């Protein structure tokens, strides 16, 4: 297990309230030994004018999963994890339903982390692949 503690979905819930995560309807749905999964609706909040999933919404979903996953690997009383770089390849349009994202670690170091996030549609077909680099910084005391 890569997590700092034995987290549950209930433990993660506060990280998704009163911020953009809640506004976009993103939900964390599963935490495994080395992955974090979430879902996001494809609706009026997340589509672009052509009524397909907005690339920025996909990136917001990827950054949400990667950022939360990164935070769960460190002692949050001593460290924060902040995004340094994110990229995404948009592979398939989605016009309704939900998309599902899975974040898995590529590198979890003391000063930086890299996460790969796969986003799929309801049929399990790849919609977007993203990678985020996180800096692990000490909290000021």
| Residues recognised as catalytic | 63
| DSSP letter assigned to residue 139 | P
Exposure on the CB side of residue 92, measured as CA atoms within 13 A: 14
Q: What is the 3-state secondary structure (H, E, C) of 33-95?
A: CCCEEEEEECCCCCECCCCCECHHHHHHHHHHHHHHHHHCCCCCCCEEEEEEEEEEEECCCCC
């Amino acid at each position: 297990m890569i997590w700092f503690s034995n987290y549950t979905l209930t433990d993660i819930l506060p990280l998704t309230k009163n911020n953009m995560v809640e506004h976009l309807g993103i939900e964390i749905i599963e935490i495994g030994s080395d992955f974090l999964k979430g879902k996001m609706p494809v609706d009026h909040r997340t589509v672009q004018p052509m009524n397909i999933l907005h690339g920025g919404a996909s990136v917001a979903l990827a950054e949400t999963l990667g950022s939360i996953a990164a935070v769960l690997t460190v002692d949050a009383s001593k460290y924060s994890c902040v995004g340094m770089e994110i990229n995404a390849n948009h592979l398939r349009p989605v016009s309704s339903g939900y998309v599902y994202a899975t974040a898995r670690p590529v590198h979890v170091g003391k000063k930086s982390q890299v996460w790969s996030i796969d986003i799929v549609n309801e049929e399990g077909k790849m919609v977007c692949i993203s990678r985020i680099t996180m800096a692990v910084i000490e909290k000021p005391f």
